[in-house]
């Protein structure tokens, strides 16, 4: 009688599962750690406004917050609070005035340049750009805009400074180019232009009827240093006395810095 080989249909074969192997009959666990999805980063540029006039801050903020690519992340009226806000809010740009509640905006720019060297600053001020723009750039600003032009030009200025480029008005650009081509300055320029950055700050504060000790405290300098600057200013402007200096400075402030 011939032998018959049993087929798999006749004798069930038990499948042996290797230790640790996944069974094909069991659902695969989908509970495994998955890479975290990155939340889309806010693409809007964050802007900190520093100005001691609430109305100015409000107007600028209204313009900025209507844009799809920028937003106001904070507002301050003093230099000291602005530095604290920069640490807390981490803005992409600071818009600041030259005159602030507790100190010079130029001093704020110097501190930003030292403490946050990658943070751009755009100055928006009533101060004459032909005098203050160059000083602001030396202090660390990347742009300078007169408040009279702010409503029309500020968005262009913001985007240019955020891109790393310098912004100045067309008028000032033309003047600077003209001086470069001619190799000389305008002979009609104010003698105030001969003052150094610090001397100009002191001169302005004198014109605001600040006493020597008050100026020293505001600029974080000694009284002796301020007295030295006063003498230098008198010499450069050909002024004979402290009274003449105060009178000259007051007239200049009233003319150049309208309230």
CATH number at residue 202: 1.10.10.10
**Is residue 178 domain-resident?**
yes
Residue 41's φ and ψ, nearest 5 degrees, are -70, 140
On whether both 134 and 75 belong to a single domain, the answer is yes
Which CA distances in Å does 215 have to 24, 156, 226?
83, 35, 7
**Is residue 105 domain-resident?**
yes
**Is residue 96 domain-resident?**
yes
Show pLDDT as tens, one digit a residue, over the chain (259 residues).
454 544 444 445 455 555 555 444 554 444 444 544 444 456 899 999 999 999 999 999 999 999 999 999 999 999 889 999 999 999 999 999 988 877 788 889 999 999 999 999 999 998 888 888 888 998 999 999 998 888 889 999 999 999 999 999 888 888 777 767 766 555 456 778 788 888 888 998 898 888 999 989 888 889 999 999 999 999 999 999 999 999 888 888 877 765 5
Is residue 65 within 8 A of residue 72, CB to CB? The reply is: yes
Of 164, 182, 200, at which residue does a domain stop? 182
On whether both 90 and 214 belong to a single domain, the answer is no
Is residue 145 within 8 A of residue 157, CB to CB? The reply is: yes
Identify the bridge partners of residue 48 per DSSP, sorted by sequence position. 74, 94
**Is residue 252 domain-resident?**
yes
């Amino acid at each position: 009688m011939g032998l018959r080989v049993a087929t798999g249909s006749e004798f069930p074969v038990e499948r042996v599962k290797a230790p640790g192997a996944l069974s094909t009959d069991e659902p695969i666990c989908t509970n495994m750690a998955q890479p975290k999805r990155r939340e889309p980063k806010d693409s809007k540029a964050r802007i900190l406004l520093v100005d001691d006039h609430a109305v100015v801050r409000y107007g600028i903020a209204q313009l900025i917050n209507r844009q799809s690519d920028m937003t106001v992340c904070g507002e301050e009226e003093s230099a000291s609070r602005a530095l604290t806000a920069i640490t807390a809010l981490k803005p992409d740009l600071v818009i600041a005035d030259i005159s602030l509640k507790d100190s010079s905006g130029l001093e704020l720019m110097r501190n930003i340049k030292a403490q946050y060297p990658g943070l751009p600053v755009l100055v928006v001020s009533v101060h004459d750009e032909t005098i203050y723009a160059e000083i602001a750039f030396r202090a660390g600003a990347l742009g300078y805009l007169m408040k009279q032009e702010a409503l029309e030009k500020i968005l262009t200025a913001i985007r240019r400074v955020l891109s790393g480029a310098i912004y100045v008005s067309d008028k000032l650009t033309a003047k600077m180019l003209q001086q470069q081509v001619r190799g000389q300055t305008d002979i009609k320029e104010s003698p105030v232009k001969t003052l150094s950055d610090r001397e100009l700050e002191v001169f302005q504060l004198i014109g605001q009827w600040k006493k020597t000790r008050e100026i020293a405290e505001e600029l974080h300098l000694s009284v002796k240093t301020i007295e030295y600057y006063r003498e230098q200013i008198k010499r450069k402007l050909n002024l004979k006395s402290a009274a003449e200096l105060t009178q000259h400075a007051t007239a200049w402030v009233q003319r150049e810095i309208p309230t």
